[in-house]
Amino acid sequence: MQLDRPFVRLPIRFDAATLAQEVKALPEAAWRAHPQGYAGNSALPLIAAHGDPQLDRTKGPMRPTPWLAATPYLRDVLASLQSPIGRTRLMRIQGNGEAHAHVDTNYYWMTRYRVHVPIVTEPGVQFIVGKRAVNMAAGECWVFDTWSTHNVINTMPTERIHLVIDTIGGPAFKQWVDAGECPEVFNPPANPESRLIAKGHTQLPLALEHDNQPVVMSPFELRHWLNTCLSQLADPAQRPLLVPLLVRLDRTWAAWFAEHAALATGHAGFRQRLQEFDAALSALPKSILLRNGSDAVEFLRQVIVRVALNPELAWPEDQTAAFAVQDERQRPRAEAPTQTPKMEIAAPVPALLAAAPPLPEALPISAAAPVKRQSSAGVAPAYFDRPVFVVCPPRSGSSMLFEALCQSPEVLSIGGESHQIMEQIPGLNPGRVQFDSNRVDASAASAVTVAELTHGFFGQLRDRDGRPVRVDARRVRFVEKTPKNALRVSFLAAAYPDAHFVVLHREPHETISSMIDAWRSRRFVTYPRLPGWTGQPWSLLLTPGWREWNEKPLNEVAARQWAQTVRVLLDDLAQIPGDRVHVIRYQELLDAPEASLRRLCGALDLAWDRPIQELPPSKHTLTPHAKEKWRQNEALLREALPIAEPMVRRFADFMAAAEAARGPDVAPPVRARMRVTDDHATPLAKPAPAVLYGQAATAVAANTRPPETTAPKVAPEQAFGSVYTRGMAEILASIRSSVAVTTYQSGRVILLRSEGQGINTHFKSFPSPMGVAAQGDRLAIATARGLWEYHNQRGVAQALPPVGRHDACFVPRNQFLTGDIRVHEIAYTDQGLCVVNTRFSCLSGLDGVHSFVPRWQPKFITKLEATDRCHLNGLTVIDGKLRFVSCLAQTDTPGGWREHKADGGVIIDVASHECVATGLSMPHSPRWYQDRLWVLESGLGTLSQIDLATGRAHPFAELPGFVRGLAFVGPYALIGLSQIREGVFGGLPVMERIKERLSGVWVVDLGTARIAGFLRFEGQVQEIFDVALLPGLLFPELLEPEDERLQSSFVVPNGIAS
């Protein structure tokens, strides 16, 4: 398990002498050679799969071996951890031996603490994790970061024996981890406050691990491992190599899981997907590494390919399908795997990228974040605080209420209904009960099911402006609306004990009429091939008793569906404390939306800050609301309503009682808005329609946009933030320009804009942005799969609120899809936009027809292929002409430059193909300024000048990081700084000089060669690629391609409209 500290010494200890006596009494024949065959290493299994000491595997129920019964104090040690105990062994290293340096990327150990209790040891034995070493004293209890490279070296002539326990951990154990210490010295003094657990002093039962691998890995867990791999890549530039394969597996796995869950009917299809994924992994280069130095491909095989499908672990009742689902032609599913979409592993990666966009940066399941030190109580904070569930029969107006509640500044939601999130979880899929209904009661609220559901919700949460929730956010206010939840109140109340339920009542004849319309429309089909149903495709929620209605007319089915929903809903609500149940009427919501919403928000303790005059139709509305609309089905209702009459009366009585018991109205609270979402994006107000004429046109609006509001400042740490020096703010103000910064690592283009006496950092989302080029009113941005070309539309800028603040607005006008060619720097030339095509080792143009048009290649490159032979990365344009390029080595083999990155870099004259400078350390960003050639030597962390006469580089200024991205203005050089990463930058001279990890933009005074100021990014921005000046623009806006303001902003040539 990955921890945030290399070692943690827990505040408990054991009697080492007694443990040693028990171990000494064990026969030598009980010891076995180390599973990996490490010389001088041996093991004695105490807990093993099925209790068999000959089984070293980590799959299957863990049970005691015969040797545990012979060591009662060792058993007490295990029980005292108060955790489910997994594989446990005594591990022995002979004198002057070592364990072997390695990283634990195995699926089993990725999710388990590795606990060490030294039994026989000496003060000179070294336990090494990363660059730290410690001596673990006998009787102490330790855990360590298994995700980092670790080793044990026994420098003593005597043997070393540790008790090594794998466990998922329990609440008490995790409290000990939180309270534990990470000593700074090799031989730390004993902790006088640690508690001794002596032999026989614990009467706790021994909890043993039963399940450790899934029958079928859930889509949520699979996505977690895929995202873990991407987040841990040593070189983010290699991300596009993996993304197409990971996206394809993610999508096909989720779809197949939604249909089959873990049932045997889907096992062959899952196996085929794993085989195709494994074959695709084999086609990847061997150089894709994770930050800890391990092989990314092998990691994916260990956490997915080898463990995602284990049919032999299924319980007997799961071995055969409980139901069969056939398609509209009623063909059998036995051959389903042959119908599954192929992964197209033979296709080139650019084609795959075109077929599957990258995984989102904001991940549905948080990546493998280190285990953080928690509060003193040791309890992890809850994801949700009093979640709100809107419950009612279908077609009651819940979408309208939900969309209105989501306008609260505190509310997060998934933006729609949660059918897929819930029914991908085996325990919540109606297939588990042979499609009896969508009913789920409290018995289904197992820890695993609730955790999967919570992660499913949390990963898709957005605020009212569409901004994703921060991965570190906790105790957020979450609102959910899915009609099926009317049958799940008992489950939801058990899963979230502080949940509140909002019951929406609409007149039954109106609701049932709308349900009839929904069935007829076929827009609300939920189970198109429901086993045993012969009527039209089943629509809306699946209620108990549906099989008895098979031959009933549609109006009667709808009435029974409504009545059964109300019966289950009211039965469940009767078990919920009254202060957690709130009621509202549909007609009340229509007649007085603001008053009713303010009352409801007050009762729910939700802030409200937006006036509402009228509620718009929801996205699920079939036809606009009309009070008498139900009369179109009046005859059908007259026949069907008697069926529902008992529930009509009961629902009316429930509402009357709830309203009578309701106390005085409470106003919504007023408080500072907590920052639980990524605030890099500007909140999007609904724009007024605008038509713009030419570059000097003015906005023509039918209505004015509401004024922009500023939320109060609050203290919580931002996922995206920055600090800057006063000198940096003064420089930005003095040059009367803005700066565009790209960070592919965090997927942002950042505009640095002068604001008063400070700096405004404006974060915009793009997929892996790299090079950026500005020329007049044009701006180009290179991304993962191509380039976006923007134009400055000043008329749009003038229409942005607050009026007069923005002096430019860059609007996307063209997109060039190149595929994954690893575009690095780009520049405007006399021949148009030129891109550094790093993957194909050439400079390229764009013609709108081809992926790219090769225009120049170094003379030492012999092939045009996607193998990044020299890592061509930068270019210099002088008077519109291409003049110089930079690359990391003169190599002509795939990835060959990596062996020469420390001193193999060159600058090449484009016209002559000759090298004008050699021996550079990872050169980037060559620029021509003040009649001199400048370059950033990233491996040295310097801004250097190139002497064209001698071909030598002369360091001009040293900077505190990996430098990349360079722009000049007046007497200043603006330089991008990235954090040092050992996996990528190991062996570079800058590693010897830099200890602190910094990223941002640093300014060097060209007159003094000193740092004149800097802006340092905090949070998620760790690496910068390019820095570009936007001359003369003080406060520009940059619209993301999906910005909703683009829907109502138009630009046409002058003179078109009268």
Per residue in 576-589, pLDDT (tens digit) is 999 999 999 999 98
Which residue from 35, 365, 9 is spatially nearest to 187, judged by alpha carbons? 9
Instruction: Note if the bond before 894 is cis, omega within 30 degrees.
Output: no
* Contact between residue 381 and residue 592 where contact means Cβ atoms under 8 Å apart: no
Write out the DSSP string of 538-569: EES---TTGGGGTTS-HHHHHHHHHHHHHHHH
320 or 1031: which leads in pLDDT: 1031
Per-residue pLDDT reduced to its tens digit, 8-18: 999 999 999 99
830, part of any domain? yes
DSSP symbol at 981: -
Q: How many domains does the chain have?
A: 4
Point out the domain boundary residue: 642, 661, 680. Answer: 661
DSSP symbol at 402: H
Question: Residue 283: what pLDDT?
Answer: 87
1058, part of any domain? no
For helices 634-661 and 554-573, the axis angle rounded to 10 degrees is: 10
- Across residues 265-280, what is the average pLDDT? 91
- The verdict on 169 and 241 lying in the same domain is no
* Contact between residue 939 and residue 902 where contact means Cβ atoms under 8 Å apart: yes
381, part of any domain? no
CA gap 905, 907 in Å, rounded: 7
Question: Residue 686: what pLDDT?
Answer: 31
Q: Does the pLDDT at position 653 exceed 90?
A: yes
What CATH code is carried by the domain that includes residue 854? 2.120.10.80
Question: Residue 351: what pLDDT?
Answer: 31
CA gap 368, 300 in Å, rounded: 13
pTM above 0.95, yes or no: no
- The verdict on 300 and 170 lying in the same domain is no
- The verdict on 872 and 729 lying in the same domain is yes
CA gap 381, 251 in Å, rounded: 31
Percent pLDDT > 90 in the chain is 53
- The verdict on 166 and 261 lying in the same domain is no
Q: Does the pLDDT at position 112 exceed 90?
A: yes
- The verdict on 853 and 988 lying in the same domain is yes
CA dist 791 to 694, 773, 797, 815, Å?
12, 12, 12, 12
With cut-offs at 50, 70 and 90, classify the pLDDT of residue 1057. low
543: containing domain: 388-661
Q: Does the pLDDT at position 848 exceed 70?
A: yes
376, part of any domain? no
Across 555-641, the runs of DSSP E, i.e. the strands, are 581-585
- Across residues 632-640, what is the average pLDDT? 91
With cut-offs at 50, 70 and 90, classify the pLDDT of residue 676. low
End-to-end CA, the chain: 68
Q: Does the pLDDT at position 954 exceed 70?
A: yes
The chain-wide mean pLDDT, for the chain, equals 83
What CATH code is carried by the domain that includes residue 36? 2.60.120.330
Per-residue pLDDT reduced to its tens digit, 521-563: 887 888 877 888 988 889 999 999 999 998 899 999 999 999 9
Q: Does the pLDDT at position 700 exceed 70?
A: no
Return the exposure string of 680-702: e unless at least 16 CB atoms fall within 10 Å of the residue's CB, then b: bbbeebebbebbbbeeebebeee
415 or 518: which leads in pLDDT: 518
CA gap 115, 206 in Å, rounded: 16
* Contact between residue 287 and residue 190 where contact means Cβ atoms under 8 Å apart: no
Question: Residue 713: what pLDDT?
Answer: 33
678, part of any domain? no
- The verdict on 698 and 818 lying in the same domain is yes
553, part of any domain? yes
67 or 711: which leads in pLDDT: 67
With cut-offs at 50, 70 and 90, classify the pLDDT of residue 1058. very low
Question: Residue 701: what pLDDT?
Answer: 27
Report helix, strand and coil shares of the chain as percent, to nearest 5: 30, 25, 45
Q: What angle do CA 77, 81, 82 make, to 5 degrees?
A: 125
Per-residue pLDDT reduced to its tens digit, 850-869: 999 999 999 999 999 999 99
- The verdict on 177 and 259 lying in the same domain is no
379, part of any domain? no
Point out the domain boundary residue: 163, 197, 231. Answer: 197
- The verdict on 154 and 247 lying in the same domain is no
- The verdict on 188 and 226 lying in the same domain is no
Lowest mean pLDDT among 73-82, 254-263, 285-294, 609-618: 609-618
Q: Does the pLDDT at position 319 exceed 50?
A: no
- Across residues 277-287, what is the average pLDDT? 88
- The verdict on 173 and 33 lying in the same domain is yes
- The verdict on 592 and 519 lying in the same domain is yes
* Contact between residue 1024 and residue 741 where contact means Cβ atoms under 8 Å apart: yes
Point out the domain boundary residue: 334, 355, 376. Answer: 355
- The verdict on 613 and 712 lying in the same domain is no
Return the exposure string of 428-446: e unless at least 16 CB atoms fall within 10 Å of the residue's CB, then b: bbbbbeebebbbbeeebbe
CA gap 1010, 108 in Å, rounded: 51
Question: Residue 505: what pLDDT?
Answer: 96
Question: Residue 677: what pLDDT?
Answer: 59
Question: Residue 1045: what pLDDT?
Answer: 80
What CATH code is carried by the domain that includes residue 551? 3.40.50.300
857, part of any domain? yes
Question: Residue 1046: what pLDDT?
Answer: 82
Per-residue pLDDT reduced to its tens digit, 189-224: 999 889 999 887 777 889 999 888 999 999 999 999
Residue with tokens 């005292």: 80
Chain centroid offset of residue 849 CA: 34
Q: How many helices (H) and strands (E) would you count in the chain?
A: 23, 47
Q: Does the pLDDT at position 155 exceed 90?
A: no
